[in-house]
Homo-oligomer: A and B are copies of this chain.
Amino acid sequence: MVGLDNFITGSRRNLEHLKAYEAHGRFALVELDVARGGALVDTALDARGCFDHVWHLASLASPKEYLAHPVETLEAGSAGTRNMLEIARRDGARFLLTSTSECYGDALVHPQVETYWGNVNPVGPRSCYDESKRYAEALTMAYHRSQGVRTNIARIFNTYGPRMALNDGRVVPAFLDQALRGKPLTIFGDGSQTRSFCYVDDLVDGLVRLADSEERYPVNLGNPFELTILEFAEAIKKLMGPNLDLVFTPLPEDDPRNRRPDISKARRVLGWEPKVGLEDGLRETLEYFKQLGGKVSG
């Protein structure tokens, strides 16, 4: 197995458990930007032989990060996707794209089903992420249709768990970080917007099943248990401290109001559904952050 990362937001610490595999030649890390220099990527990966699977998971994914790096975010979805698709085409490998629920934008259909075309502002500040992923889906389908590459597309909804960056700006690590420090939990807007949080182990199980399936069109992967951000803050207080305060700040531009996956298709096509409840998942994540102590970044 080969991992490709430029660590623009990732952490080397997250790969420490792979050191034993690396020593036995079963894992190798190539440090490169997936979007830069297709030939460079090819050369780096050529040395590792022929691939059976190419999983394109690379992207800045947290609003805080992609708003700070909009061009890099767009490039990861365009040039990055093309570079990975070219390797899959060359090797006859299966290709998996990790797309996003953000393809639905500020959805007018609820819960979101894969056949919904979305409501995305192409020129808003968040478009660097949303349009990058919509482009990546279109390119993946174009390679499937015109080049015969065996492709799969996952639309991933909010996911959390160990190895998240505590400071990446998303609500799960943000609340856990604030709670661990005994600080007030920050709510954007009035907290009535909804999210659905999927634990990472459930998501990985879904991706493995999808990569083995014959489904070419996008499949939602996420937890259909929906709650408001206020309800989520209450869950954190219940777990970590009933005395935590809440502070309210303005909602970011084009922030989606509601987000809940319709996972009928994943149930039907992959026999998949999430198994880990929010309280168990949060407890595991909290344990991880406690172990880390103050070391929150790379």
Residues in A lying within 8 Å of B, measured CB to CB:
70-71, 74-75, 77-79, 82, 103, 105, 117-123, 125, 127-128, 130-132, 134-135, 137-139, 141-143, 145-147, 153, 217-218
In the complex with contacts A117-B121, A122-B117, A142-B70 CB distance below 8 A: yes
Which of B70, B78, B145 contacts A145 (CB under 8 A)?
B70
Partner of A103, one of B79, B122, B130, B142: B122
Check B147 against A74 for contact (C-beta < 8 Å): no
* Copies in the assembly, this chain: 2
Give Cα distance in the complex from A138 to B133, angstroms.
Answer: 12
A263 CB to nearest chain B CB (Å) = 18
The answer to whether A137 and B118 have CB atoms under 8 Å apart is no
A123 to B153, Cβ gap below 8 A? Answer: yes
Asked whether, in the complex, the Cβ of B217 is within 8 Å of the Cβ of A123, the reply is yes
Chain B neighbourhood of A79, CB < 8 A: 78-79, 82
Specify which chain B residues have a CB less than 8 angstroms from the CB of A145 in the assembled complex.
Answer: 70, 125
In Å, the complex CA distance between A71 and B119 comes to 24
Find out whether the CB atom of B122 lies under 8 angstroms from the CB atom of A118: yes
Asked if B82 and A75 make an inter-chain contact with CB atoms under 8 angstroms apart, the answer reads yes
A139 to B288, CA, bound (A): 37
Give A161 Cβ to nearest chain B Cβ, in Å.
Answer: 27
- A137 nearest in chain B by CB position: B122
CA of A13 to CA of B27 in the docked complex: distance in angstroms?
56
Cβ contact within 8 Å between A131 and B134:
yes
Instruction: Indicate which residue in B71, B78, B103 contacts A135 across the interface (CB closer than 8 Å).
Output: B78
A119 to B130, CA, bound (A): 14
Inter-subunit contact B138/A128 (CB<8 Å): yes
A148 to chain B, nearest CB (A): 12
Question: Are A138 and B123 in touch, CB under 8 angstroms?
Answer: yes
CB distance from A85 to the nearest CB of B (A): 9
A230 to B160, CA, bound (A): 54
| A134-B122 contact, Cβ under 8 Å, with A79-B78, A142-B71, A146-B70 | yes
